[in-house]
Structure 1
Amino acid sequence: MSRQVFWFSLVMIVYPYFGYPLVLYLFGKLKAVKTSQGMPAGDFTPAVTLLIPAHNEEGTIESKIRNSLSLEYPREKLQIVVVSDGSTDATNAIVRKYRDDGVTFIGLERRRGKAQALNTGLAAATGDIVVFTDASILLEPDSMRCIVKRFREEEIGCVSGSDRILDGGGEGMYGRYELFLRNLESEIHSIVGASGSFYAQRRRICTPFLEGMAPDFLSALTTVEKGYRAVTESTATGHMASAKEARDEFRRKERTILRGMTTLYHKRNLLNPSRYGIFSISLWSHKVSRWLVPFFMILLFASNAFLLEERFYGATFIAQCIFYLAACGSFLGTGMSRSPLSKIPYYFCLSNVAILFATMKYATGIRQEIWSPTKR
């Protein structure tokens, strides 16, 4: 029995991270969708609203506004809206300085959460395309043209940009892995989630954001539900710093997963393969199976402990112990933390512990209603 549990657990751990990308790659060879990804942006410049929600972002908001004003996009077609969600620092005063430059400022007197901030911004939006972006990410000059060019295709309803983590260690590697997956998903049908810090959606298919749910995930799911495709555009890039503290990154992961679970339950009809085909399989593989990984990690370790009399399983048990020791070493800042290889087990373990905590909160009815930007 222990052998069966061991091998089943191993398969369930490997599949979402290695098996699923392989399935996407092979399926893409058989049925790839022709796209304009990577093609020159050209002269396609629809009216765009750049929507920036902010809460106590005095350290980043000015550079974000300057970055937005410097984008290579016709100024008369670019509306910049900053919604301050009950900020108590200098955020509001900084944004007001740029009103004469055409920046629309909306200040909410009390903190109401990211969903309400986005809904307030949407109500003021005038562009055909709404680009959602965080204050912490700085966009490349041509990123606006690159992300909106995909909307030439009528079937495209949502486009994710590429957020690059600077000096991110495990976080940066994970980000690159997610971008790789999105590219594969885009070639077949749709991505299952957009970049939370930089993505765009047709305004006519935007629906009100709901508190306690992940806006980027909800936008992608709503897009597919309405009969459009959600894709990624690798040339639309932005750069952001990695989280300053492990505690901040853990909280961000836990919050993201909890809100993702809440969102997927709200849109659980999309998990039906008979109605949504390959997209449903992607949801099961990219999201649900990954959320199950920490439980299979526990089963793998426990079942392995009952098989130590056999040489092969003794070696796998030692390998697991080394993996977890490397993660602990990176967390504690020992000599192992200087090795790039130790950052992989560290971030993998951090992510899966965050999944465990998020699952416990979800199961006990705890929801994340108020949004706190990660310190970067």
Structure 2
Amino acid sequence: MASSNFIDYVKINIRSGAGGAGSMHFRREKHVDKGGPDGGDGGRGGHIILKGSSQLWTLLHLKYQKHIKAKPGKGGEGGRRTGAEGEDVIIEVPLGTVARHGETGEQMAEITEDGQEIILLQGGRGGLGNTHFKSATKQAPDYAQPGEPGQEEWVILELKLLADVGLVGFPNAGKSTLLSVLSAAKPEIADYPFTTLVPQLGVVAYRDYKSFVMADVPGIIEGASQGKGLGLRFLRHIERNSILLFLVPATSEDCGAEYETLLNELRQYNPELLDKQRLLAISKLDLIEETDYKAVLDRLPADIPTVFVSAVRQQGLMELKDMIWKALTQSENQVS
């Protein structure tokens, strides 16, 4: 099934720890006449490590953590004691995250498995103590190496997940409820605007062991294209879906007008969004009388495939999946 990329994005500054300095030290013991050099090595600086976590779905936890710095290594000590290593910093990210160099865009790492760890920046090596510089001609070296400095880079983290269908609707249109019923996803559901602050993804099982991925794009409000509320961030996510499923509750005063308002928000943000295939689902069927169906239908656009559903009563769900699968199949055939 052809899918488009569903991307979350963050740019962070990372700095690995500097290595500790080697020690310049000589043995000083009561019964040793001429103690030789015994300066220990410095400990390495902390690494910056990217780690995959199946418990994360977005990069939202890194949005406000722009600077990440690892600890330096400790200096070496006498008695050939090596300094402690600087503590590594582990950045947990969802599976599917790609790290790119902030300036060149060159890929540095890709996380595909839970628990996978990749060192983005290595900590500086610790300096050698003076014990390493003893020779036949120099019995008392008065030199030890400084530790290597840490590295610093701006790094772009991109999360790429596949989403075949993007749910588009105002807050409380029933998107989270529909996704939870259609798939194994468990989005938070409540009776207040902006329930879903980050996109939720669910795999929807279809006939004969087929499936497709549906994304509940967080609710937009009228004026989102001008940056009101949290709209712009959400509209960026909508750009990544191959098919847009508009969800309008049957209880709306005018379902057709609400659909047009949503469409207008997308048009003002990016007219190319209107080139995507569109489907319409009228939700919350259980909250209207059968006699009201015709009044709702009369106000709907005739040029878009439409189905009535009730997630609560699980009505119309197979018809909805059939409609989506037909659209996805047509989209795939057009691409090929």
TM over 0.5: no
State the TM-score, normalized to the length of structure 1.
Answer: 0.21
- Structure with greater Cα Rg: 2
Larger relative contact order (Cα-Cα within 8 Å, sequence gap ≥ 6): 1
Which one has a larger percent helix, Structure 1 or Structure 2? 1
Which one has a larger percent strand, Structure 1 or Structure 2? 2
